Structure 1
Amino acid sequence: MANKEKNINGDSVNMSNYLIRAKKQSNLLESKIEVMAIKKLETDLISVPDRDPNGVEYTYDAVEFKSDELKTLMGRKGGSFYSNLRDAASRMMQRYIAIEEPESRQFKFNHYYHDVSYNNGTFRVVFENGMQPYIKEIQANYTNLSLPILWSFKTNGAFQLYTHLRSYMYKIDSKPRMGEKQEDQECIVKEYKLSELRVDLGFVNLEEDDAIRAEAKKARPNWDKIDNLDKTPKYKRWSDFYARVIKPGIKEINEKSDIYIREPETVKTGKGGKITSIKFYVQYNTKYFENGGEDVDTGVRTVHADDGIEVVEMYDNMPPEHLNAVMELLEGVDISLKDAEILLNDADDDLEEIRKAYEYVKTIDHVENFMGYMRKAIQEHYADQQQTEVAYGSQERAEVMSGIRETMHSEDVQMAAWKRLQSKDDYPLFLQYLESQQLTEEVFDLAFDTADKIKMYTKWVREAK
């Protein structure tokens, strides 16, 4: 039976069930990069040209990420993550994937990525052409996955178990019946052989040696054999696998996602009663939908940048009274509670900063993107700059200062300003602060452009006072 769900909003991605259920080893960061790369193929596809030995031209599908997006994918608000990204790029380049072909129902063992690289704050993923049927324009047998839910997971076990089990939820015709207890909701049962579950969740290295690769390349691999061939098994015993992977994964899924997993049931066979299979009982999560369904807060959101490209960013949940205060302040402006929370996060929960930005934005004619102007005004402290200009004594002087601010966008002027900041007495203290965030001066210099360096330094100065 094909699984085809409605793409409910821009904060979701359609993932082929063949890809979700494919056999591959992947840690949490790599899995999040994979999902975001597939999402970006919808709008930010890059075609990489190449030629075959006969000179025939063809292209690979590729996407790119910026540093801020990758920080969020790792669940971090700051600190050094560059070595993790370099390691991820190196590992992903070696990744093989065993994927069941739709027509033959046999497994095919292929490279997943043609090239993966990380340079100067940009992470590039180039897919192998053989992966196109599973990553682009998926029309059938897919699952619509919520990106905020995926980004919120902190353990790889939760991420992998969620995507696998979520891909079978099409068997339940409707969302949970409100008012009924969780245990009374409709349920599906999915049974896995223990060896195959370990492979599915990425705890067996399919690239470890020739014997494993040879078995994985078969049309119908023996997963018991592959599991036994693994020379570096992790959590081989069920008790360890359950305690370290399954139990914490279920806990995180039940707390954060739209599905609820009851206590799994083990199936024992043979005279010794060896555990050979696991049964999962899965329902839609009533708590998730009672809290607003797809609008539930997970600590991560997808937003549109100025250039229209979707990026992800972390945020803090704000108290209802603070949200109401923003709505009252901006009465008459068409914004949502989510918009109010975004502004509060930008303003570090300071209502006065939002008020000043609002007064500034009201002086601008023909504001087409109110939220865009407001966020920029808060982040760049435009209202404070405007007050400084007026303090110089005249409208003419204010216009001159505005002109100076506009020229500050040029790279030459920004570089000169940055060099002056580097000569200040407190700059060594700023470097110590970067070190405390596990960010060396060399990496800081390579990964951030001049404007961002200035912003980080000035923010540090404000917070240090």
Structure 2
Amino acid sequence: MSMNSEQLSLLETSTVSSEYIVSQSTELISTPQDLSANEKKIIFTLASLVQPEDENFRTHRIRVKDLADMMGIVSSNFCKKVEETVTELQKKTVVIQSDKSKLVVNWLSSSEYFRGKGFVELEFSEKLRPYLLDLKRNYTGFKLTNVLSLQRAYSVRIYELLKSFEKLKKRSFSIEELRELLVVPPNAYKYYANLKSKVINKAKKDLEEKTDIKFEIEEIKKGKKVVGVTFYIERNDTFFSEVLLNGKAEETAYAAIIRMGIRPNVAKLLTEEYSEEYIKDNISYVLHQKNVDHIENLSGYIVKAINEDFVTTKQTKPKKNNRKDTLPK
């Protein structure tokens, strides 16, 4: 339903960032999805704007230039390309099956492109609420930056599939299951050798160069025929460390907190409570620990470090005020 001009004027433009966290239920990730790389990036960007305190999906007004940047579109006609991608995405559905039902739902309930205004308004379909909103268990989160540099749709899908099994360190697929999850057309890569060279190996190279995980594969054979593949998943420590330590000296405390994957509402509270120097010192203290690459919930650990002042001995006036009890733990 279209908004009148008065309603429209009250809708703020959402700030997007490659440092925001995308959270999805494992059930949604493990559902076949026939989306292009750029369509996935729009879904991920919109998902990264869902806040933990949200009770319902909200319409998000996003700058077209921001979406173009997220998709890596640098041409002068980026507005047209973004509009075309949004239009195609609006037509796409996802099928989620369980023992009780078969849900066929469009990804977006609405998409309104305002020509000459420089923004587009997007909203998830309400039926996707259990899979993207108020997630408590069986979900996967990752930084948006991990998928923005991936140009191949198959690499994007393999990343999110493997990311959901990162803690288990491996995941086996039959060849047919893998083709189904990636929505490989029936006549494409009919032979495993082609699927391996054109899809799996390219994804392997993409993930190792551009994301926080990497993988090796082991082929499952029946006789001489390859019938499945086991992916052995591990953290890409080199990339992980480079992303964490790439902050600039002039970076604000708020930007540094966001870069750590901490939600904007929490970042706002922390920067209202503590000084710039104090926040940066505690983040730096955490990042330079020898075992930083193995901290499971780094963003939560950093919030704890700031709240509890892990470098107390280095600070004499760390706080702006004494409202520590209002901060998230």
Q: TM-score, normalised by structure 1?
A: 0.45
| AA partner of residue 128 (structure 1) | S
Deviation at 1:106, TM superposition (A): 6.6
Q: Distance in 2 between matches of 1:161 and 1:254?
A: 12
The alpha-carbon distance between structure 1 residues 286 and 41, as it changes in their structure 2 partners (threshold 3 A), is: closer
Task: Look up the match of 2:36.
Answer: 27
Aligned to 2:113: 118
Output the amino acid matched with 1:243: S
Match of 1:108 among 75, 98, 103: 103
Q: Which residue of 1 aligns with 2:214?
A: 260
Aligned residue among 179, 184, 191 for 2:172: 191
Partner of 1:278: 229
Q: Are 2:60 and 1:63 aligned?
A: yes
Q: Which moved further from structure 2: 251-260 or 21-30?
A: 251-260
CA distance in 2, matches of 1:279, 1:248: 16
The secondary structure found in structure 2 opposite 1:23 is: coil
Question: Matched residues in 2 for 1:38 and 1:259: separation?
Answer: 21
Q: Distance in 1 between matches of 2:192 and 2:100?
A: 29
Whole-Å Cα distance in 2 between the matches of residues 42 and 36 of structure 1?
A: 12
* 1:164-223 deviation line (CA, Å, top 9, x unaligned): 10101133xxxxxxxxxxxxxxxx22111222212222434xxxxxxxxxxxxxxxxxxx
Matches within 5 A, 1:373-388: none
2:24 is paired with a residue whose SS is strand
Asked if the contact 2:52–2:134 (Cα under 8 Å) also holds between the matched residues in 1, the reply is no
> Deviation string for 1:384-407 (max 9, x for gaps)?
xxxxxxxxxxxxxxxxxxxxxxxx
- Preserved contact between residue 55 and residue 134 of structure 2 (Cα < 8 Å): no
**Corresponding residue number in structure 1 for 2:293:** none
Native 8 Å contact 1:45 1:63 kept in 2: no
SS of alignment partner, residue 282 of structure 1: strand
Task: Go from structure 1 to structure 2 and tell me whether the alpha carbon gap of 1:280 and 1:75 turns closer, same or farther (over 3 Å shift).
Answer: same
Aligned to 1:241: 195
1:61 touches 1:129 (CA, 8 Å); kept in 2?
Answer: no
Count how many residue pairs are aligned between Structure 1 and Structure 2. 240
Superposition RMSD on alpha carbons, in Å?
3.6
1:145, distance to aligned residue in structure 2 (A): 0.3
Q: Amino acid of the residue matched to residue 76 of structure 2?
A: G
1:12 aligns with 2:21: yes
Q: Flag the 1:79–1:336 CA change in 2: closer, same or farther, 3 A.
A: farther
Distance in 1, matches of 2:209 and 2:193, equals: 23
Match of 1:161 in 2: 158
What CA distance in whole angstroms lies between the structure 1 residues aligned with 2:232 and 2:157?
16
Amino acid in structure 1 at the alignment position of 2:29 = I
Which residue of structure 2 aligns with residue 99 of structure 1? 96
Task: Return the offset for 1:278.
Answer: 1.6
C-alpha distance in structure 1 between counterparts of 2:121 and 2:227, whole Å: 40
Equivalent pair of 1:46/1:63 in contact (CA under 8 Å): no
Mapped to 1, the partners of 2:239 and 2:100 lie a distance apart of 35
CA separation in 2, counterparts of 1:142 and 1:46? Answer: 17
Residue type of the alignment partner of 1:31: K
Amino acid paired to 2:172: E
- TM-score with structure 2 setting the length: 0.62
Of structures 1 and 2, the larger Rg is shown by 1
Matched with 2:81 is 84
Residue 110 of structure 1 deviates from its aligned partner by 2.9
What is the alpha-carbon distance in structure 1 between the residues aligned to residue 134 and residue 127 of structure 2? Answer: 14
For residues 93-136 of structure 1, give each alpha carbon's deviation from its aligned partner in whole angstroms, at most 9, with x where no partner exists.
Answer: 222212244xx487533333222343323233222221111111
> Which of 65, 70, 75 does residue 73 from structure 1 map onto?
70
Q: Per the alignment, in what secondary structure is the counterpart of residue 169 of structure 1? A: coil
* Among 9, 13, 37, the residue aligned to 2:46: 37
Q: Distance in 2 between matches of 1:21 and 1:70?
A: 25
Alpha-carbon distance in 2 for matches of 1:45, 1:62: 12
Per-residue CA deviations over 1:346-391 (Å, capped at 9, x if unaligned) read: xxxxxxxxxxxxxxxxxxxxxxxxxxxxxxxxxxxxxxxxxxxxxx
Q: Is this contact kept in 2: 1:116–1:125, CA < 8 A?
A: yes
Matched, 1:203 2:184: yes
* Distance of aligned partners of 1:144 and 1:240 in 2 relative to their CA distance in 1, 3 Å threshold: same
Q: CA deviation at 1:141?
A: 1.0
